[in-house]
Amino acid sequence: MDLSLKTESFTQDRRDWLGSAHGTDVPVSVTLDVSKFTSGTHYPDGYIKSGVPLGKITATGLYGPYDDAATDGRQTLTGFLFTAQDVNARRVASTKVVGSMLWHGAIREAKLPVPVDANGKTDVRGVIVFV
């Protein structure tokens, strides 16, 4: 039995990027390829922030950060990470993390943790509205 003192910290998930509740009742489950995310940009505090734009990697079916310059499938925006995901290497040993993705609804563009370019907005036209 391990009775040693352990410390664990938690973060508050910010969802001020949501423009409405529409779509929040049906996010889809996705598996993230953590190796595709950049520590300083996507998870500076050990958590991939909710609201990060996602693209699906064609070869693996996993999801990574949307990147219009990518050639592996992530150049097509498919949705936004709905809940922050812990990827701190001290707590999570895997390079794959399960999360949820908002794939339709309204997004407050100015509140996103990572901006979306015009091509990304075109990818999701008709299912996501930027306000």
Distance CA 108, CA 129 (A): 9
At 40-93, the pLDDT tens digits run 888 888 889 999 999 999 999 999 999 999 999 999 999 999 999 988 765 556
* 28-37, 38-47, 102-111: the lowest-pLDDT one: 38-47
Mean pLDDT taken over the chain:
89
Distance CA 21, CA 25 (A): 8
Distance CA 48, CA 43 (A): 4
Do 27 and 103 meet the contact criterion of CB atoms below 8 Å apart? yes
pTM of the predicted protein model: 0.87
